[in-house]
Amino acid sequence: MEGVRTKRRELSRRGWGLHCSAALLALGCAASTSAHAQGPSSSPDPVILILGDSLSAEYGLPRGRGWVALLEQRLQRERLSWRVVNASISGETSSGGRSRLPALLDQHRPRVLVVELGGNDALRGLPLSMTRDNLSEMVRRGQASGARALVLGMQMPPNYGRAYAESFMGLYAEVAKAHQAALVPFFLRGVADAADPTALFQADRIHPSEAAQPKMLDNVWPALRALLR
């Protein structure tokens, strides 16, 4: 247990603590499952389906303050008639997302699929090849259903080793390139790697604060906006 606490402190000092959500779950800490996927709607508006983990599930935030909720507000301001379905769950792995996706595609028939998963895989020591296969299959299924896909890339802390960190970061680009999907290379750019990330994380030094959410949306918006056609 002391080793886990030491490792957690090391990650927090580098501003990468968000990636520890899976480790906390393994220790029995409570996890939020906010922002459940909405049910079917009679609205004719096309759907953006967000499939992610705690980064997208408003973990530790007041409802309606996460980047996905800010996305809905931006769409309204810009008078873009899209409906956002947030199917993110805190602690989710790429395997969990892959298993849930077929039913979500059948239910919501999205025109755009945003995949924000994989960080928890690495923290659990799962093979990178499995993460790559799961991400690839989610993108393939989404595209086969008629959706345009956007992959949100992640990075691991430097103390995981340079070779591992580079391989992990690279798998997102590999998946996007293989399927000609859109890519955000690093979803937490300007947050996890900020010069002083203190204000951008919650008191637990693990999850992004409310102040970080607009930056997260700004990282996603250019690539996502290009798909809304």
Catalytic residues: 54, 204, 207
- Cα(213)–Cα(217) distance, rounded to whole angstroms? 6
Vertex 30 angle, CA 198 and 172, to 5° = 65
Read off the amino acid at residue 30: A
Residue 123 and residue 90 in contact, taking contact as beta carbons nearer than 8 Å: no
Residue 153 and residue 183 in contact, taking contact as beta carbons nearer than 8 Å: yes
- Cα(123)–Cα(19) distance, rounded to whole angstroms? 7
- Cα(135)–Cα(137) distance, rounded to whole angstroms? 5
Tokens of 13: 């000092």
Tokens of 221: 């918006």
Tokens of 52: 């992610």
- Cα(61)–Cα(76) distance, rounded to whole angstroms? 22
Tokens of 102: 């077929």
Residue with tokens 């199917």: 87
What is the CA 160 to chain-centroid distance, rounded? Answer: 20
Q: How many CB atoms lie within 10 A of CB 195?
A: 6
